[in-house]
Amino acid sequence: MPIISILNPKGGSGKTTITTNLARSLHERGHKVLIVDSDPQGSARDWHAANEENPLPLVALDRANNVKSLPNVAAAYDFVMVDGAAKLEDMIAASIKITDFVFIPVTPSPYDLWAASDLVEFIKARQEVTDGKPAARFIISRAIAGTRLGDEIVTALAEQGLGVFTTHITQRQVYPQTASEGGTVFDSKNADALAEVNALTDEILAFID
């Protein structure tokens, strides 16, 4: 039932990678999941089309007006995962209005965090008129394996005033490799990647509970 939107107007932050891997992770746990591609660029659509045996249903809703109908569709699923658009303000605004949770992938760079400020301000303004909906958190994406977040990142994150999940998605070849076949890390045997996607799924499920 919950609608989860993975949003960040910046391209390359890992929205599609995180949407597809989290959706598959929830599917592996027996949940009925729908992926919504809200990006006119259609990366999630291309990903889906690359694998005839993809176990997940996907719909494309890349006009703000279409997005408004999502809450009706969501009733038939355990989770709806919206893969966010880049640089399309009306799409992002429409997604924020219908979503229960927003997760914002950011690479561990202060520039990327600052670039997310407008989105964070928009979410906070929405929360004020809705009693806190959508709840929002950052996901550190494309982190370098084995390194801790620098102090400047921790400070930049704190300045944004939203929480951040403890689990990071690391920069790993297995993400683009599996995506190119329309898959996810669940189609690989990469134990480290599987462990981080599963740990992030655990954290998200605990957060939205």
Q: Restricting to residues 36-75, which ones interact with ligand ADP according to CB under 6 A?
A: 43
Q: Does 161 bind ligand ADP (CB under 6 A)?
A: no
Per CB under 5 A, residues contacting Mg ion are 15-16, 43
Q: Does 198 bind ligand ADP (CB under 6 A)?
A: no
The option from ligand ADP, Mg ion, none interacting with 17 (CB < 5 to 8 A, set by class) reads ligand ADP
The option from ligand ADP, Mg ion, none interacting with 177 (CB < 5 to 8 A, set by class) reads none
Name the token pair of 116.
């997310």
Q: Restricting to residues 1-30, which ones interact with ligand ADP according to CB under 6 A?
A: 11-17
CB of 102 to Mg ion, least distance (A): 15
Contact 69, 34 (CB under 8 A): no
The Cα 98–Cα 105 span in angstroms is 19
Contact residues for ligand ADP (CB under 6 A)? 11-17, 43, 141-142, 169-172, 175-176, 179
